[in-house]
Structure 1
Amino acid sequence: MNGRRYLKWAGWSVATLLGLCALLFVAGWAYIDSLDLEREPKANIHATANDLPFMAHRITETRGRILAVVTSTHQRADSKRKLGYELTELSRPYWWFVANGYQVDIASPLGGEPTMVLDDGLTDADYAFLNDAQVKQKLRQTIPLSAVQPERYAAVYFVGGKGTMFDFPHHPDIQRIVRDIYPRGVVAAVCHGPAALIGVTLENGEPLLRGRQITSFTNEEELFLIKDAAEFFPFLLQDKLVAEGATFQQGPLYLNNLVIDGRLITGQNPWSTWAVAEAVIEALGHQPIARATTPEEISVQLLLTFKREGLSAAIQQKSVSPQSDKMLILMHAVVAGMQWRLQEAYQLQQLARQ
């Protein structure tokens, strides 16, 4: 009898467990369906430059040239982890610089075609970049840094991407280019791009970073995504910049943080890219052309309001804002949940659903 009772109890337990799993699956599916993500606007994968609204206001006169620099490192020899440069950190500034009257050249330490990293959430600007014949040619034949004539450029912009951590620091041609441009032009970088500034000294022998206000991808952001980042990379970028004498300005996790110190402009992460690009144009002495704020930027603003003022203020702001990026807000909810900030995670999904 005991054996029969045990088998009966086990059968009921298994059935109950399967029922609970099925219930959780149905509840989870219903929750995801209730978010109505299918109705979110989709990017045009066939977009061209003419499809970007701000290009209609493009400055037709040529104001000068800007050099964009990407990494040549696609992989560490002892790892399968893909490196390279971040598409969105190049494509969006590229069109913005062009729209504001600048020709853009693309260079890399080794020249040729470097490795591109594509993230989720691509926009029309990113697809227009990928679809453009002239851009494709520039990417296939990036200029070797050794061949760059810095006197031709009003600004240099260092694109982010994890590969920069291996071939940007202490690069002699990067130092030569920055040393020439900085006294008269603009030096800008985003995310991991500030790795280019490590080891740069000016003509008077002073380290560029000493006493400068700066930001970059933070230790917190790095270690959340790559637990062994301190071992995988030669250093953590935030720590290295501070060791070089910079005053590091850290913003909230995965949100826009722009730092301007004279002609040195840096952004913390990919969500700082538009802000860096606009700041470059302003630092070059121009009023940027008109551009509608993107849904991603609107969501970043909502998230910043949430961080500073709470859920009610963010919901109120959202009620009078144009279309936001629901997926970005939900991504922050997931990050909060993974860090056991459960109340914040719950509130963020509420914000996304509004």
Structure 2
Amino acid sequence: MRRWIKRGLLACLATVLVVVAGGFVYVYTLDLDAQPPAEPDSTVADLAFMRDALPPTRGKILAVVTSTSHFPGGEKNAGFELTELARAYYVFRANGYDVDIASPQGGSPPMRRDDEDMVEADHAFLNDADARRKLVASLPVGDVDPARYSAVYFVGGKGTMFDFPNDPAIQRLVRDVYQAGGVIGAVCHGPAALLEVTLDDGMPLLRGRRVAGFSNAEELFLIEDARARFPYLLQDRLVEKGARYVEGPMYLDNTVVDGRVVTGQNPWSTWSTAEAMVRALGHVPVARAPGRDERAVQVLAAYHAGGIDAARKARAERPDADKRLLLMHALVAGMQGRRGDAWRLQGLAHD
């Protein structure tokens, strides 16, 4: 996800620096090199929360990814987001669930990855022979038996907007799992899978339900002509289908639970969406220490909720929060003309 933001940032960086009157000179004193990226050779054994993983005796969860590799016309990449699969995959595994992977077409689905976004769990997934085997031989959704799964989780990615909503096999999967008492989860663009689902009683699954999903503001910030490129904007279509859309701040964790339907707004909602699904299944999630990226999101959430004083307090309690993510939000604020926010947020990165 950050690669989309980064492209816009690179295009507008000079303007941003002028707008904030040189405030980002502090970037050079941030010592970003003191925050090395996650090791590419990370394995499951390096994931602390997986050391307390429960045996896979609670059932199975199906993770569904898109098969659409490009936007119509073929000039822009689509696919699914690795981070939104890998992190949820290990949350489910840690909490006693086996995980299968499916896609509309089956086989090896188109993956989107950004090394700057990746944490240990993402690299561990790529180095996990069993996980990669499941991914490259993903099950065709039409061949899946919904009765085998306690929950289904729809991974985000731009491609979902094209092949999830009108797939009758996905609609059947959601309907059958939900009506059997299972949990439905989705993150970022993943809720596109729920748009056309109607239950056996004729009631649309989304009608009157509180949900999250990638917001119009987030989409249009990244892709100015998103209304032309996509058949719809997800937030708009969720509302059109009768959902009560719950919008959080841009690019911060926002997970919404409505009964047995759990939805997250963006990639930074992946951890909380997966853990909320575990709770909806009736279990307390295995303890997991938040990573640097999550700690940065917590600082930013404190800023949006309580202002700079609350953010500084949160920052002091999280000295290892990801400075790059804090700075990214400062740049986003600058690009949106929110000069005060840009200045204060880059200060948090410097603290």
TM-score when scaled to structure 1?
0.90
Aligned length: 329
Moved more, 38-47 or 255-264: 38-47
> SS of 1:331's equivalent?
helix
2:188 corresponding residue in structure 1: 191
1:231 corresponding residue in structure 2: 228
Greater length-normalized contact order (CA 8 Å, ≥ 6 residues apart):
2
User: Once the 2 structures are TM-superposed, how far is the Cα of residue 79 of structure 1 from its aligned partner?
Assistant: 3.6
Q: 2:325 aligns with which of 312, 328, 331?
A: 328
Tell me the percent identity.
55
Q: Which one-letter code corresponds to 1:294 in the other structure?
A: G
Q: Which one-letter code corresponds to 1:176 in the other structure?
A: R
Confirm or deny that 1:292 pairs with 2:296: no
Q: 2:345 aligns with which of 348, 351, 354?
A: 348
Distance 1:145 1:200, change over 3 A: same
Deviations 1:224-273 (A, max 9, x none): 00001001000011100100000100001111111100000000000100
Distance 1:34 1:101, change over 3 A: same
Alpha carbons 1:213, 1:246 under 8 Å: kept:
yes
1:47 corresponding residue in structure 2: 42
Alpha carbons 2:212, 2:264 under 8 Å: kept:
yes
> SS of 2:153's equivalent?
strand
Q: Which one-letter code corresponds to 1:311 in the other structure?
A: I
Distance 1:83 1:313 in 2: 38
| Structure 1: runs of 5+ lacking an equivalent | 1-23
Q: 1:73 aligns with which of 68, 71, 80?
A: 68
Confirm or deny that 1:219 pairs with 2:216: yes
Q: Which one-letter code corresponds to 2:111 in the other structure?
A: M
1:12 corresponding residue in structure 2: none
Q: Which one-letter code corresponds to 1:309 in the other structure?
A: G
Distance 2:92 2:100 in 1: 11
Structure having the higher Rg: 1
Alpha carbons 1:83, 1:117 under 8 Å: kept:
yes
Q: 2:133 aligns with which of 131, 137, 140?
A: 137
1:314 corresponding residue in structure 2: 311
Distance 1:99 1:309 in 2: 34
> SS of 1:259's equivalent?
strand
TM-score when scaled to structure 2?
0.91
Distance 1:261 1:30, change over 3 A: closer
Confirm or deny that 1:113 pairs with 2:112: no
User: Once the 2 structures are TM-superposed, how far is the Cα of residue 322 of structure 1 from its aligned partner?
Assistant: 4.9
Alpha carbons 2:56, 2:98 under 8 Å: kept:
no
After the TM superposition, which residues 2-41 of structure 1 pair with which residues of structure 2 at under 5 Å, given as runs? Answer: 31-41=26-36
After the TM superposition, which residues 50-61 of structure 1 pair with which residues of structure 2 at under 5 Å, given as runs? Answer: 50-61=45-56
Distance 1:289 1:322, change over 3 A: farther
Alpha carbons 1:295, 1:322 under 8 Å: kept:
no
After the TM superposition, which residues 94-109 of structure 1 pair with which residues of structure 2 at under 5 Å, given as runs? Answer: 94-109=89-104
